[in-house]
Amino acid sequence: MSKEKPYPPQYYQDYLGLEKILNSQHLISDKYGNPAHDEMLFIIIHQVYELWFKQILFELDSLLGIFCKDEIQESDIGRAVSRLERIIEIQKILIDQIHVLETMTPMDFLDFRDFLIPASGFQSVQFRMIENKLGLSMENRYSYGGTDYHASLNELDQEKVKASESLDSLFDLMEKWLERTPFLNWGKTSFWDEYEQAVVEMLRDDRHLIQTNAKLSNTQKEKHLIEYEKTEASFGVVLSSKQHNKLVKEGKWRLSHKATQAALLILLYRDQPILYNPYQLLTKLIDVDELFTAWRYRHVLMVSRMIGRKIGTGGSTGSDYLNKTAEKHRIFSDISELTTFLIPRSALPQLPQEVENNLGFFYHVKGK
């Protein structure tokens, strides 16, 4: 005899709430007696965007829950990487959706564009919350016309967005997690002393290659050497807390010195088993940043194609505004820039055996 399930059967339509979803497309052009065929596409595309934003927020909240704990296990990092991978796949869909929107021509858009004013994607509360929860700071926001980005939202939505600003972001929690990462205890010597020596040798060799390159003219060599001096100086952000703090004060770096060093250690010794998931995590954070930047740039091209140099429906300078946000709204750029400070594996300081054991899945059998 089969056991009866303790919950009632579900009907597909009811479970998904399809009646509400499929009846939520109301063409404003119809209301004004001027039906525009492509307005349906425009509405559905943006509704789908908002559904994906809801899923991204759901995954972000899970990530924030993982990183707000005082003690984070190895399995937590693996789960965080999976959450980020899901966000990344959604971002790819967000970019691909632009192709569908571009089946609408500029003339098709003009059939209903004026009816939308002043509604704009700028008023997407969920996207603003995504930016805040990822860690976009007020100082790094591009401000159109010097106005606060809350100004375009109604009072209730302003409260929602401001609430998301007041909580620790993924950037904040990730920084604290990195700061708690145990640094390599080398005993009699210091990792950073050995790393600095390896950097000096690498830069000296690179400088020598420029000076002895017969294919470069003297003028070209001088230019390359000037640029290389800048590269040499940039290592201060890792090796000198004083220089690092100066760059933070100038707004040229954001991640704390301790977190910066921890992240670099993870990138340098990514081959060690215990550092694989942390390395994947940092890589996925860079991917999320880059994909949102790519989405903004792709959006810029689409808007330029649709409205040219016209003012956007929300009152911004259309493509110019989107270009500015794409350039400025990077959150994890410090991590991506750490590649500047990588050195060849052959030049890496040799790990003491005890440290290598701690970074690997090392098991000691008693009596052996």
Inside any domain, residue 4: no
- pLDDT number for residue 368: 46
The answer to whether 256 and 264 have CB atoms below 8 angstroms apart is no
Which is nearest to 305 in space by CA: 115, 93, 103? 103
Average pLDDT, the chain: 87
Inside any domain, residue 366: no
**What confidence tens digit (pLDDT) does each residue in 92-133 have?**
999 999 999 999 998 999 999 888 888 888 789 999 999 999
Inside any domain, residue 69: yes
The DSSP 8-state label assigned to residue 189 in this structure reads S
Range of the structural domain that residue 266 is part of = 13-142+153-359
Inside any domain, residue 239: yes
| Residues of the chain falling short of pLDDT 50 | 315, 363-365, 367-368
Q: What helix, strand, coil percent values describe the chain, rounded to 5?
A: 65, 0, 35
Inside any domain, residue 2: no
Angle at 332 between CA 331 and CA 337, to 5 degrees: 130
Domain count, the chain: 1
Angle at 93 between CA 89 and CA 99, to 5 degrees: 155
Q: Domain containing 78 — which CATH number? A: 1.20.58.480
**Numbers of helices and strands, H then E, in the chain:** 19, 0
Inside any domain, residue 147: no
Inside any domain, residue 365: no
Q: How far is CA 314 from CA 97, 121, 153, 170, 265, in A?
A: 21, 8, 11, 29, 45
pTM of the model: 0.88
